């Protein structure tokens, strides 16, 4: 693992375990520190940025589950790996419902713990999409527009059944919020809501995340581990960025959707999945189907109930309410309660197009609070930050004008590899012949483009 992967905080009341785990991570080039209690862990998280926390379950005072709950509430961008000598599937379900990224059994295997940490740190850059600022609760869209009221009506109707729902819309329109609302309104509300970010993990990790694995299935698989399909039993499995999965995973996902059946990696027993599938994407799946990049049969399995979330520019009536909500919530979280947006500032926000949708608006309001003085945020404050944003966008666009030839070549190679795999149903020998290269070259290129 390269040293730039991130930082890990180890929480265990046993000094020997803490010292061994800290040393193991540092040997792999991962910045790591150890504390002996949940209270110390929260203090450390308040002092410095941390990507991942590994915590023991059984500790005096604040135990691992209580610490997990505190981290989920106060530091939602931090991944938590639960470590326990009492690991069971029900415990894993409870931990996943609370927000755990993974769990490992003690005494831990060196390769298994490194595998789990690598998985969490690999996903960490994609977690930047989540902000530590409060979002509206599931089901609370803070909407005054007819477009979003129609979305709410569709969610209520879809929640009554078990049909697969495909949430579509631009990045930042609130697809995960809609998925959580759908779960909350459904008959499965008492079951777990389990999310898989399909774009955050390469094929091998994504497959093990979805289906789980048996002991010995690969190096580091020291014990059987349930997949997200198993952890979501009786609840909802949310597959985010479904348009980013490769043809190889598409084949396996199609069987899961069609038959509600799957096998763990390295296993022979067929398991059934009693889950409700909700998926989301910002991609144009119809175009991907025509280009041979997405299976047509999988597309129709996913889009039984398609629901489109409109961009923020098409519902300006919602901007004012969202901006005021974000302002109050972010100000309270940062210890600046009482900060308000002046009416003319809100009017200016409403007139802006917000190409990044609700997420961009939220980030903008947070930056506005951080970089402004006084309790009242004025029109001048808004204009200043909009001007900065426009300048950054212009500089970024100017930089992109100098696209290098090698980056264009890489894009063309990746497209050709994906198309060949799609045409051959994932058969790599046939794909190699189609591309006119050896199997060794094909495998090398697939690894280079992270398609393996």
pLDDT value for 134: 39
Torsion sign across C-alpha atoms 359, 363, 364, 369: positive
Q: Which tokens is 76 given?
A: 């939602």
Shared domain check, 362 and 228: no
Shared domain check, 318 and 252: no
Number of domains in the chain: 4
- Least confident residue range of 168-172, 324-328, 392-396: 392-396
Decide which of 310, 326, 341 is a domain's last residue: 310
Shared domain check, 203 and 86: no
Shared domain check, 291 and 152: yes
Backbone angles phi, psi at 351, to 5 degrees: -80, -10
Domain that holds residue 330: 313-400
Q: How many CB atoms lie within 10 A of CB 73?
A: 11
Shared domain check, 228 and 88: no
Q: Is the pLDDT of residue 46 over 90?
A: no
Please, are residues 92 and 62 in contact by the beta-carbon 8 Å criterion?
no
Instruction: Provide the whole-model pTM.
Output: 0.63
Shared domain check, 298 and 189: yes
Q: Is the pLDDT of residue 126 over 70?
A: no
| CATH number of the domain to which 36 belongs | 3.40.50.2300
Please, are residues 294 and 241 in contact by the beta-carbon 8 Å criterion?
no
For residue 368, being part of any structural domain is answered with yes
Read off the pLDDT of each residue in 352-357 and give the average, rounded to a whole number. 91
Instruction: State the pLDDT confidence band at 133, using cuts at 50, 70 and 90.
Output: very low
Shared domain check, 276 and 204: yes
For residue 391, what are the β-bridge partners?
none
Q: Which residues contact 72 (CB under 8 A, 6 or more apart)?
A: 80, 98, 99
Parallel/antiparallel/unpaired status of strands 165-168 and 305-308: parallel
Decide which of 129, 162, 193 is a domain's last residue: 129
For residue 134, being part of any structural domain is answered with no
Angle between helix axes 405-423 and 247-259 (nearest 10 degrees) is 40
What stretches of 215-316 show up as alpha helix (H) in DSSP?
Answer: 228-231, 247-259, 285-290, 296-302
- Least confident residue range of 69-73, 93-97, 226-230: 93-97
Give the separation between CA 296 and CA 292, rounded to whole angstroms. Answer: 9
For residue 135, being part of any structural domain is answered with no
| CATH number of the domain to which 254 belongs | 3.40.50.300
Q: Which residues contact 195 (CB under 8 A, 6 or more apart)?
A: 176, 179, 238, 240
**Cis peptide bond upstream of 345, omega within 30:** no
* 19-37 pLDDT, tens digit each: 889 888 888 778 899 999 9
For residue 235, being part of any structural domain is answered with yes
Cα 57 to its chain centre, rounded Å, is: 24
Shared domain check, 7 and 103: yes
- Least confident residue range of 42-51, 252-261, 330-339: 330-339
Shared domain check, 372 and 346: yes
pLDDT value for 433: 76
pLDDT value for 405: 56
For residue 211, being part of any structural domain is answered with yes
Task: Calculate the alpha carbon distances from 44 to 8, 10, 32, 75 in Å.
Answer: 11, 11, 12, 12
Q: Is the pLDDT of residue 128 over 50?
A: no
Shared domain check, 266 and 152: yes
Q: Is the pLDDT of residue 397 over 60?
A: no
Shared domain check, 413 and 371: no
Q: Which tokens is 416 given?
A: 């050709």
State what percent of residues in the chain have pLDDT above 70.
88
| CATH number of the domain to which 425 belongs | 1.10.10
For residue 220, being part of any structural domain is answered with yes
Shared domain check, 281 and 340: no
* 434-445 pLDDT, tens digit each: 787 777 778 778
pLDDT value for 245: 92
| CATH number of the domain to which 325 belongs | 1.10.8.60
For residue 261, being part of any structural domain is answered with yes
Q: Which one, of 367, 407, 409, lies nearest residue 385 by Cα?
A: 367
Instruction: State the pLDDT confidence band at 194, using cuts at 50, 70 and 90.
Output: confident
Task: Calculate the alpha carbon distances from 289 to 252, 286, 362, 369, 422 in Å.
Answer: 17, 5, 34, 44, 10
Decide which of 129, 157, 178 is a domain's last residue: 129
For residue 247, being part of any structural domain is answered with yes
């Amino acid at each position: 693992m390269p040293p730039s992967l991130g930082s890990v905080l180890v929480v265990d009341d046993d000094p020997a375990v803490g010292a061994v785990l800290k040393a193991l991570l540092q040997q792999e080039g991962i910045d790591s520190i150890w504390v002996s209690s949940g209270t110390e862990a929260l203090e450390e998280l308040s002092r410095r940025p941390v990507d991942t926390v590994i915590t023991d379950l059984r500790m005096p005072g604040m135990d691992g589950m209580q610490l997990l709950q505190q981290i989920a509430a106060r530091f939602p961008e931090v991944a938590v790996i639960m470590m326990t000598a009492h690991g069971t599937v029900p415990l894993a379900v409870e931990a996943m419902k609370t927000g755990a990224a993974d769990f490992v059994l003690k005494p831990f295997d060196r390769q298994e713990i490194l595998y789990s940490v690598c998985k969490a740190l690999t996903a960490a850059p994609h977690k930047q999409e989540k902000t530590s600022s409060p979002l509206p609760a599931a089901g609370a869209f803070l909407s005054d527009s007819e477009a979003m009221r129609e979305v709410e009506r569709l969610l209520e109707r879809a929640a009554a059944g078990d049909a697969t729902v495909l949430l579509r819309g631009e990045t930042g329109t609130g697809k995960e919020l809609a998925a959580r609302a759908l779960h909350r309104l459904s008959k499965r509300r008492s079951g777990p809501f389990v999310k898989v970010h399909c774009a955050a993990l390469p094929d091998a990790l994504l497959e093990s995340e979805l289906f789980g694995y048996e002991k010995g299935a690969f190096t580091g698989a020291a014990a059987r581990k349930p997949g997200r399909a198993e952890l979501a039993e009786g609840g909802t499995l949310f597959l985010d960025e479904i348009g980013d999965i490769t043809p190889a995973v598409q084949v396996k996902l199609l069987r899961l959707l069609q038959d509600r059946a799957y096998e763990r990696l390295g296993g022979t027993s067929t398991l059934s999945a009693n889950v409700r599938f909700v998926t989301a994407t910002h991609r144009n799946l119809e175009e991907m189907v025509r280009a041979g990049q997405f299976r047509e049969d999988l597309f129709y399995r996913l889009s039984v109930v398609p629901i489109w979330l409109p961009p923020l520019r098409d519902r300006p009536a919602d901007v004012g309410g969202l901006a005021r909500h974000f302002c109050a919530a972010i100000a309270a979280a940062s210890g600046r309660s009482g900060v308000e947006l002046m009416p003319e500032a809100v009017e200016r926000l409403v007139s802006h197009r917000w190409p990044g949708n609700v997420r961009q608006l939220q980030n903008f309001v947070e930056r506005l609070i951080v970089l402004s003085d006084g309790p009242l945020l004025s029109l001048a404050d808004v204009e200043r930050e909009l001007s900065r944003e426009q300048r950054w966008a212009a500089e970024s666009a100017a930089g992109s004008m100098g696209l290098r030839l090698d980056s264009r070549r890489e894009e063309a190679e990746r497209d050709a590899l994906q198309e060949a795999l799609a045409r051959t149903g994932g058969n790599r020998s046939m794909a190699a012949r189609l591309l006119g290269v050896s199997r060794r070259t094909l495998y090398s290129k697939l690894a280079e483009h992270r398609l393996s």
